[in-house]
Amino acid sequence: MAGALTRADAEAADARDPLAPFRDRFVIAGETIYLDGNSLGRLPVATRDRLAAMAAEWGEQLVRGWHDWIDAPARAGDLLAPIVGARPGEVVVCDSTTVNLYKLVSAAIDARAPRTLVTSPDNFPTDRYVLEGLARQRGLAFRLDDEVRPGDLAVISHVAYRSGELLDLAGIQAAAQDATIVWDLCHSAGAVPVNLHEAGAELAVGCTYKYLNAGPGAPAFLYVAEERQPELRSPIWGWFGQRDQFAMERPYDPEPGIGRFLAGTPNILAVAAVEEGAKLTAAAGIDALRAKSIALTERIVALHDAWLVPLGFSLETPRDPARRGSHVAIRHDEAWQASAALIERADVVPDFRGPDTIRLGVAPLYIRHVDVHDAMQRLRDLVALGAHRELPAARGRVT
C-alpha cells in the first residue's frame, strides 16, 4: 500500500489508464482540481460545439425545426437507456428530477394504492419533500425509514448523495415483493453500472448534469419498464404526452409509450447537451468508468487513512469499493473551513455538505490519479498548518 501514497505511483497509474485520452474531450481551462463532478459535471468540447450548432439551427429553421426536435426527448432517452440497463423506449429525457419523481410517484399511487410512502432519512432533500408532500396531498402515511415493508411505495437512491454508499439494486428490487420502488439514479447514472431491466426495476429517475455532464439545469430522465407503461398515467395531462399531439381538438388520450410522461415543450438545446453527454459516457463504456472510479476512490481512502486520520478526519463512505459510488465523503469538525480553504487557498474544488462532511467526487472521464494525489496532499498540508482556521466559520448560501 505504501507505493500508492507516492506521486510517482499516481503518475504511473495515469500512464496505464485506458480512459486518459477522454480528459482532452472536456473544456479544461487552468489548473483547478475539480472534484465536484458529482454536483455539476464539466463541459464536454462536443457539447460546447453542439450547443452553438443548435443555436444556429434554431436561427435558420425557426418553427420548422420541430419536425426533427419533436423526437429529441425520446432520442436522448434511447441514448441513455443502455447506460442504465434499460431497453429502447423505456427512458425519456424531460423536466427535472424533482418533477419526474413527482410524476412517477403520483402515477404509482394511482395504479397501486400504496398505504405508506417511504424514503430514507438520509435521502436527498427534494426526494423527501416530494414524497412527504404527496403523502399530505393524497392522505397517505409517510415514513422516513431505510426499511421497505409490504405495501409501501419507496423512493431509494441507488448511491447515497452524502455518504456515497452504493446499494444492491437487484437484491432490494427482488426482495420488494408487493412494495413499489422508484429508484433515484442521480449519483449512479454514468458512474456505476445500473441494470434496471435485468433487476426487474419498474420505475426510476435521475439527473444528467452530474456524471453525465449535460450542464447546469439540464433536463433529467425517467424510466418506466415497458410492461408498466400502459397502467401508469402522468398526473400532468400535458399536450406533449398526448397521442397524436397536433390533432388539437381531441380530449386527453395519452401516448401508449414512454412519451406519455412528457408534459410541456421540452428544452431542445438542453436535450442536445444530454445527447452529447450520453454519447461520451457510452464511448468510454460504463465498465471501464467503474474500474477507474474504484481505483480513484481507493487512492483517496488510502491517502485519507495515512494522512488525514491523524488530523482528525474520518471516513463516512463504505470501505468496501463494491459498496460505494464515485465520491468519497470524509468528516471533520472544521469541515466547512477546510473545504473553503481548499477552494480559496489550494485551487481544489470539493463540496461541503453540512454539518461536517466534505465530498470528494472523482468523475472518471476527466479526473486523474495525480489530481487525487495533489488534492489530498494540499488538504493535509492546509489542515496540518491550521491554515483553514483563517477562513470565516460562517457558511455561504450555496455549498
Ligand X SMILES: *Cc1c(COP(=O)(O)O)cnc(C)c1O
Positions marked active-site: 124, 184, 209-210, 359
Closer Cβ to ligand X, 308 or 328, answer by number: 328
Q: How far is the CB of 140 from ligand X (least distance, A)?
A: 21
Q: How far is the CB of 182 from ligand X (least distance, A)?
A: 11
Q: How far is the CB of 123 from ligand X (least distance, A)?
A: 6
Asked if 245 touches ligand X (CB under 6 A), the answer is no
* Best CA proximity match to 292, nearest among 209, 187, 365: 365
Asked if 362 touches ligand X (CB under 6 A), the answer is no
Asked if 183 touches ligand X (CB under 6 A), the answer is no
Question: Whole-angstrom Cα distance, residue 267 to residue 129?
Answer: 25
**Footprint of ligand X on residues 89-108 (CB under 6 A)?**
96-98
**Binding residue (CB under 6 A) for ligand X from 143, 162, 187, 353:** 187
How many other C-beta atoms are found inside a 10 Å radius of the C-beta of residue 1?
8
What does residue 118 show for φ and ψ, rounded to 5 degrees? -135, 140
Q: How far is the CB of 145 from ligand X (least distance, A)?
A: 17
Q: How far is the CB of 289 from ligand X (least distance, A)?
A: 18
Closer Cβ to ligand X, 157 or 180, answer by number: 157
Closer Cβ to ligand X, 34 or 161, answer by number: 161
Q: How far is the CB of 122 from ligand X (least distance, A)?
A: 10
Distances in Å between the alpha carbon of 201 and those of 28, 36, 258, 310? 37, 29, 15, 43
**Binding residue (CB under 6 A) for ligand X from 36, 184, 316, 374:** 184
The continuous run of DSSP H or E covering 329 comes out as: strand 327-331
Question: Whole-angstrom Cα distance, residue 131 to residue 101?
Answer: 9
Rg (CA), the chain: 22
Asked if 267 touches ligand X (CB under 6 A), the answer is no
Candidate ranges 111-119, 122-130, 170-178, 336-344; the one touching ligand X (CB under 6 A): 122-130
Distances in Å between the alpha carbon of 224 and those of 23, 52, 190, 343? 33, 32, 19, 40
Task: Report residue 268 CA to chain centroid gap.
Answer: 21
What does residue 45 show for φ and ψ, rounded to 5 degrees? -55, -45
Name beta bridge partners: 203: 182, 224
| CB of 325 closer than 8 Å to CB of 166 | yes
Q: How far is the CB of 32 from ligand X (least distance, A)?
A: 22
**Binding residue (CB under 6 A) for ligand X from 26, 161, 211, 313:** 161
Candidate ranges 83-91, 183-191, 225-233, 362-370; the one touching ligand X (CB under 6 A): 183-191
**Binding residue (CB under 6 A) for ligand X from 34, 124, 221, 307:** 124
**Footprint of ligand X on residues 198-227 (CB under 6 A)?**
207, 220
Closer Cβ to ligand X, 97 or 213, answer by number: 97
**Per rule CB under 6 A, count of chain residues that contact ligand X:** 13
Nearest 5°: the CA angle 94, 100, 104 is 130
Question: Whole-angstrom Cα distance, residue 283 to residue 277?
Answer: 10
**Footprint of ligand X on residues 129-158 (CB under 6 A)?**
157
Asked if 127 touches ligand X (CB under 6 A), the answer is yes
* SS3 annotation, 151-214: CEEEEEECECCCCCEECCHHHHHHHCCCCEEEEECCCCCCCCCCCHHHHCCCEEEECCCCCCCC
What is the binding site for ligand X (CB under 6 A)?
96-98, 124, 126-127, 157, 161, 184, 186-187, 207, 220
